[in-house]
Structure 1
Amino acid sequence: MINTESFEFDSVYHIFSHVNGKELIFREETNYQFFLKKLMQYILPIADIYAYCLMANHFHLLVRFKAVEGVPIEDEHAYLMKHFGNFLNSYAKAFNKMYERKGALFLNAIKRRKITDEKYLLKVLHYIHNNPVNHGFVTEVALWKYSSYMAYVNSEKESKLNRNEILQYFDSVHIFENYHQSNVEYDFLDVE
């Protein structure tokens, strides 16, 4: 189910959101860079980031929330949602100021699906990285520069992503690349 699941510490989620209306979230290169900077600022302290893909009118994230001491279990969702709200509000305010626009940039709800097993995790990873191919923006996953895919392929380069958690499912980077070029059924995903 989407949006009815509460965020929980030490759990993995596929998180996505879409622009409000028919505008764009990212109009130019600096928007993508600024969004990633804000993602690292607001979300990295509370979550390991496994994957992301930024598209002109939506984004996808794959994260594992960290356990935070001192937050009662009944307050986990509110605590984590507050960080996501601050993240998206920070980006939207800067975006609105830059483009002299008013109003909500993102749809009200952050959509989310809890990842419950390895098979589902790997399918979501494939889906996120292949999103630009599936939408016809590029012909190969490696050609889209606004995703985490190349951070895995160039795994010797420093990254703030938690690549080790994901790469443990693949015997090599070559197998990781081959997996992303394979056909995977997404019929289990309820995303836009």
Structure 2
Amino acid sequence: MSKINYPFSFREKVHKLTKKMATQHLKLPIEGGKFYHIYKSASIGDHIFFTPGNYAFFLRKMDLIIGDMVDLMAFCLLPNHFHLFFRAREVITIKEEYVDHPVEIGHFIGEGLRKLFAVYSANLTKQEGIADPLLDNNFSRIFIPNDDIARQMIVYIHQNSQFHNVTDNFTNYPHSSYPLMMGKHKTLIDKDSIMTLFADMQTFIDLHQQPTDWGSLHEYLIES
């Protein structure tokens, strides 16, 4: 795949748009059966992830804590922030009891994400010897209203490492879900749901070879 080049002036424009919107989505309730873009950055300092082991630890805990409540469809973990994209499930099980009310499901997912941040932050504080946690309980989230925007959001999240100049080829970036889609083995992402959105693997690959359509997508991006 050829490198997707984003001019500096274009990056600045995108950052201004997304920074303006980020604070508007800290308290948006999550509901079962809907798509969500989740964004989180360090509350203090410049980094969330310091070592390869940090990325692996975060993903393991994420799968353990919220893996049974969401269909994870994309993620990209960068040194100072991360993006998740998932569909909240319509039915979940809590303490052997079925929960099918959309608001209740959203409550449990939100609590799960806060637990994930607390567990990860405690581990990182121990590792780095930092007195204050790097992650607080707040996180930005935005509802994604339809399949078309969902497809674009998945592409955007996968391209994010290249957009931020963390890598010159996002397809090889190890801390995103794109390489997992290329593999044959079962992973923490829901490949079946992703293929329902993209129809087939070739369509998935072809759409990732195009720059993000910022004009139609910018209102769904949340970066501080």
Instruction: Please give the TM-score of this superposition, normalised by the length of structure 2.
Output: 0.79
Contact 1:17 1:111 in 2 (8 A): yes
d(CA) in 1 for partners of 2:132 and 2:30?
A: 26
Q: Secondary structure at the match of 1:188?
A: helix
CA distance in 2, matches of 1:70, 1:55: 33
Conserved in 1, the CA contact under 8 Å of 2:30 and 2:110? yes
Distance 1:10 1:181, change over 3 A: same
CA deviation after TM superposition for structure 1 residue 92, in Å: 0.5
Aligned to 1:22: 45
CA distance in 2, matches of 1:189, 1:72: 25
* 1:61 pairs with 2:88: no
1:53-104 deviation line (CA, Å, top 9, x unaligned): 1000111111112223247555444322111111110111011011111213
- The correspondence of residues 67-146 of structure 1 with structure 2, limited to 5 A, is 67-68=91-92, 69-70=98-99, 75-146=104-175
1:8 and 1:169 map into 2 onto residues whose CA distance is: 20
- Please, which of 12, 19, 37 is the counterpart of residue 60 of structure 2? 37
For structure 2, list consecutive stretches of 5 or more residues without a partner in the other structure: 1-23, 93-97
Mapping of 1:141-156 within 5 angstroms?
A: 141-154=170-183, 156=184
Q: Does 1:175 align with 2:206?
A: no
- Partner in structure 1 of residue 13 of structure 2: none
Aligned partner of 1:157 in structure 2 is 185
5+ residue gaps, structure 1, are none
- Give yes or no for contact 2:117–2:136 (8 Å, CA) kept in 1: no
| Matched pairs, number | 191
CA contact (8 A) 2:34 2:88 kept: yes
Structure 1 residue 6: Cα displacement: 0.6
Q: How far off is 1:177 after superposition?
A: 1.5
State the shift of 1:163 in Å: 0.9
Cα distance in 2 between the residues matched to 1:111 and 1:105? 16
Q: Is the 8 A contact 2:144 2:220 kept in 1?
A: no
1:130 aligns to what SS in structure 2?
helix
Counterpart code for 2:62: L
* Separation in structure 2 between the aligned mates of residue 8 and residue 97 of structure 1, nearest angstrom: 34
* Cα root mean square deviation, aligned: 1.8
Q: Which amino acid aligns with 2:32?
A: F
With normalisation by structure 1, the TM-score equals 0.91
SS of 2:208's partner is helix
Amino acid at match of 2:194: I
